[in-house]
């Protein structure tokens, strides 16, 4: 079909196909899902909470509500495994949402709130109380699970190290807290 290009018309760039629905990135679709979940949560309150009346207390309650769907074991103070990153046996401590998940969730909802017409000044996801709550969760989970939340190491410039794409196993050095 393109072998005869003596009629080449350089002034005729092919237009982009009209129906090219940019696929949502993982982040975008997750954000949309989170936003819908939160909206549903507000609707299910008694009485339902209109978004315009939503404040940081609703957000905090929402975060606590999500804990029941969590998959992260967070040991209670009385548990013999408290502070052990890798317990040798199961225990009956509750599952919670991992701090990192909540932190990322709040980031997405905060953005979604403003994208959906909320003003930055009233953004309940940006309130200091939310940050305080998240920090408490982080500290509490770090202690209970014996896992310090360190900043992820930035990938160093690829040097001599073998780069074979296997998953890095993060070893946590034993250290006295």
Give residues in contact with Zn ion (CB under 5 A): 75, 79, 81, 91, 93
86 or 168: whose CB is closer to Zn ion? 86
Give, in order, the Cα–Cα distances in Å from 154 to each of 53, 92, 100, 145, 165: 40, 36, 17, 24, 16
106 or 144: whose CB is closer to Zn ion? 144
39 or 146: whose CB is closer to Zn ion? 146
To Zn ion, the closest distance from the beta carbon of 112 in angstroms equals 34
To Zn ion, the closest distance from the beta carbon of 29 in angstroms equals 34
48 or 94: whose CB is closer to Zn ion? 94
To Zn ion, the closest distance from the beta carbon of 144 in angstroms equals 8
Instruction: Dump the DSSP string for 16-81.
Output: PPS---PPPPHHHHHHHHHHHHHHHHHHTSSS---GGG--HHHHHHHHHHHGGG--EE---TT-TT
Q: Which residues contact 69 (CB under 8 A, 6 or more apart)?
A: 97
To Zn ion, the closest distance from the beta carbon of 132 in angstroms equals 26
Phi, psi values for residue 87, rounded to 5° = -65, 140
């Amino acid at each position: 079909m393109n072998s005869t290009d003596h009629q080449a018309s350089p002034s005729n760039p092919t237009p982009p196909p009209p129906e090219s629905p940019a696929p949502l990135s993982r982040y975008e679709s997750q954000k949309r899902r989170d936003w819908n979940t939160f909206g549903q949560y507000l609707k299910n309150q008694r009485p339902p909470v209109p978004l315009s009346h939503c404040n940081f207390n609703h957000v905090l309650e929402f975060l606590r509500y999500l804990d029941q769907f969590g998959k992260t074991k967070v040991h209670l103070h009385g548990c013999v495994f408290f502070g052990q990153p890798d317990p040798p046996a199961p225990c009956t401590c509750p599952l919670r949402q991992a701090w990192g998940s909540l932190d990322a969730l709040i980031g997405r909802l905060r953005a979604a709130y403003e994208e959906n017409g909320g003003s930055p000044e009233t953004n309940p996801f940006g309130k200091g109380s939310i940050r305080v709550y998240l920090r408490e969760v982080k500290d509490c989970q770090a202690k209970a699970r014996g896992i310090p939340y360190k900043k992820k190491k930035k990938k160093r410039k690829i040097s001599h190290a073998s780069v074979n794409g296997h998953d890095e196993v993060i070893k946590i050095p034993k250290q006295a807290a």
